[in-house]
Amino acid sequence: MEQPPPSIHLPQHRQQGEPRPKTTSQTPNIPSYLTHDHKSAARRPSPTATMSIIQQHTASSLSDAWRTINIDALQEDSSVNFDTSTLHPPLPTTSDDEVRQINAQVRQLLRGGDTGGALRGCLEMPVYSGSDAAKEAHLQTVIEVLQSIKASDMTPMLQRIYGTPGGSECLDVLMKYLYKGMANTSSSGGSAPRTPTRVTPQQTGFSQVGSRPLAANESTGAAMSVLLSWHEKVVEVGGLGSIGRVMTDWRKV
C-alpha cells in the first residue's frame, strides 16, 4: 500500500496590517561565565583607571598622614589617657641656687687638687628634677671635672669609687652624664635649642669643655673622644650592666 507523500507546509504570506506571529526559540544552556554582560563590562573600570587608583593609594600609604586613627588612645593603659609621671615616686626638686652651690663646692675641690673628691661630689648629687638650665649647668660641671683628670688616673679613680658603698650607683650616674654629653655634642652641628658642649685642647692631653662659642677650627669630634674615653673606662670597671641600668632607669639627668 503506497504511503501518501509528506505534506509540505509553505510559509503563508501575511496580509497587510496583520501582526507577526510569535515564534518560540529555545536558547541553549550556556554557562554564565561564558556569557558577555555588556552592562557589567561598561561598569568595570578601565586598566588605566585601575592603575591610577593603585598609584593614589600607594602615595597616600607612603605619606606620614596615612594614620587617621590614634589607636593608642583606645587602650586603657596608654600614656595618652593618664599621666605616666604618677607611676614613679616624686623626686626632690633641685633649685638653681642649690645647683650653683654644688658646682661651687666641686670647683673648690678641683682648685685644691682633689679631683677624686670633686668627681664623687658631683656624682652623688645628680640633678634629676630641676630646670633645664640647672641640669645643663651641672652637666658642664661634671664634664669640667672629667677633663681635669689625667688619662693615667681614670681607671684607678673609677676603681676606688666603685669599691666604696654606693660606688655602682655613682658609675651609673656618670654613665648618664656621658650619654647626655654625647647627645649635646652630636646636636652642636645643627640648630639645636640646647647649649652644646664645647671643647678646647689643653696640655693634659684631653680637651677642656666649656660653654664658650665654638671656634671655626675646632671640631665636635674632640668632645666626643673625651666622652668615649670615659665611657670605655666606666664599662671596663663597672661592666656592661651599667649601660642596661642607665637605659631602663626612668630618672633622667
Domain range list for the chain: 96-248
pLDDT in tens, the chain (253 residues): 566 666 555 556 566 666 666 655 555 565 555 555 555 555 565 666 666 655 555 555 555 566 677 777 777 777 777 777 777 778 888 999 999 999 999 999 999 999 999 999 999 999 998 899 999 999 999 999 999 999 999 999 999 999 999 999 999 999 999 999 999 877 765 444 444 444 444 444 444 444 444 443 355 777 788 899 999 999 999 999 999 999 999 899 9
Q: In the CATH hierarchy, which top-level class contains the domain 96-248? A: mainly alpha
Q: How far apart are CA 116 and CA 109, in angstroms?
A: 9
Q: How many CB atoms lie within 10 A of CB 236?
A: 12
Q: CA–CA separation, 136 vs 157, rounded Å?
A: 24
CA distance 153 to 90: 37
What lies within 8 Å, CB to CB, of 204 at 6+ separation is: 147, 148, 150
Question: E strands within the chain?
Answer: 198-201, 207-210
Q: How far apart are CA 201 and CA 217, in angstroms?
A: 11
Q: Tell me how far apart the terminal alpha carbons of the chain are, to the nearest angstrom.
A: 127
Cα angle for residues 182, 183, 186 (degrees, 5° grid): 85
